[in-house]
Amino acid sequence: MTEMLIERKDLKNAKRIVVKVGSSTITHANGKCDFARIDRLARELADWQNQGKEMILVSSGAVAVGVDRLGLPEKPKTIPGKQAAAAVGQGILMHTYEKIFAEYGQLVAQVLLTRMETIDRHRYTNARNTFMELLRQRVIPIVNENDVVALDELKIGDNDNMSALVASIVDADLVIILSDVDGLYTANPQTHPEAKLVSRVDEITPEIEASAGGAGSSVGTGGMFTKIQAAKNATTSGINLVIASGSQKDAISRILEGEEVGTLFVSRENRLQFRKRWLAFGARIMGRITVDEGCEKAIKKAGGCSILPVGIVDVDGDFEAGNTVSVITKAGREIARGLCHYSSEELKKITGCQSEEIEERLGHKAFDEVIHRDDLVILN
């Protein structure tokens, strides 16, 4: 951890803030828009924008609103059904936002993303440029996944992770996730009444990841697990994240004024460079390499290290040289991501060998390292 600890009062200094609202925060249980909450949300965001902050909203709710407008008895289970509901609901939801934000004199813009915009570095850069221009013109971007066209393999999947991804693209200072939960608890409060709210998390441990449950609401796709994933992604990028209840009055303002609301996940001190943020959270993961304990310890040391073939014990997936791969421990925990210099086929031939043996085994040697430290991102 860093020596310079972030305190709640330091959140007042956040300039660029991503706020994510879940379906349960802006819709009633029957899927209809909760206009009172949407109005409070718009008023808060517009007010902070007027004070010089740069606000970005990541909004769920399109599918839930579409299900209601189509008169469906429940959320569709098929991909075409969900996409049809999203197509209907997104327009209604955006019209509602535009109308209510206009009451407070605030322009908004719709931004729809899929994983495709983040896999390719040029598209990732273009998305950043669009966001930065909107912020320059004092427009609040309203972001959602483009559910209508996204294929399963190209879906980000949930707006918790979308909020962390957007925060990394725009280099935000803070992410606020508003949902139907008050924050992270010591245990599931629905089954353990004695569970206590955790106010601050300095490190996302395997125990915290393991304790995260499934989806909590019938109208959303995320549970605490996706929120922990989002917190891990954000804090690794050097961005603080708060999980709080969307039903609390003025939750955003109270957080930005330094109050103890929800759970604060404290970021690492050093921000990832733009290229490494893309590598960690934009690039598509094409395979996995498992490393031994010695390599694991070396990777986790300050500054990290390159990954050599001698430290690799297993290779999973079918990938080419230059693809992004996940680096996992023997216990199965992901500890890093990086650009691999060798294909999976080549890597299987050199697993466990010394670097000077690479040419003998492959007939050529492009690099001593499988992943160079400059192409490696260490995760929390």
**Residue 163, token pair as written in the block:** 């909020």
* The length of the chain, given as a count of residues: 380
CA–CA separation, 347 and 351 (whole Å): 6
| pLDDT at residue 240 is higher than 70 | yes
Say what the pLDDT of residue 201 is: 93
Which comes out higher in pLDDT, residue 173 or 374? 173
**Residue 304, token pair as written in the block:** 């990290």
For the chain, give every domain's residue range: 8-276, 284-378
Say what the pLDDT of residue 373 is: 84
pTM confidence score = 0.75
Same fold, 8-276 and 284-378: no
Render pLDDT for 140-180 as a digit per residue (tens, 0 to 9).
999 998 876 655 544 556 889 899 989 988 889 999 999 88
Q: What CATH architecture is 8-276?
A: 3-Layer(aba) Sandwich (3.40)
- Tracing tokens 């839930």 back to the chain, one arrives at 64
**Residue 88, token pair as written in the block:** 């209907």
Percent of the chain scoring above 90 in pLDDT: 49
CA–CA separation, 174 and 144 (whole Å): 18
CA–CA separation, 341 and 332 (whole Å): 22
CA–CA separation, 208 and 199 (whole Å): 14
Average pLDDT over the chain, rounded to an integer: 86
CATH topology of domain 284-378: 2.30.130
| pLDDT at residue 370 is higher than 90 | yes
Render pLDDT for 259-273 as a digit per residue (tens, 0 to 9).
999 999 998 766 666
Which comes out higher in pLDDT, residue 312 or 193? 312
Render pLDDT for 296-311 as a digit per residue (tens, 0 to 9).
999 888 666 899 999 9
Q: CB–CB of 175/121 below 8 Å? A: no
CA–CA separation, 61 and 171 (whole Å): 25
At residue 18, the 3 state secondary structure works out as strand
Render pLDDT for 70-125 as a digit per residue (tens, 0 to 9).
999 888 888 888 889 989 999 999 999 999 999 999 999 999 988 776 666 677 77
Percent of the chain scoring above 70 in pLDDT: 87
- In the 8-state DSSP scheme, what is residue 71? T
- Tracing tokens 């925990």 back to the chain, one arrives at 333
Distances (CA, A) of 235 to 137, 162, 305, 320, 378: 28, 14, 21, 29, 12
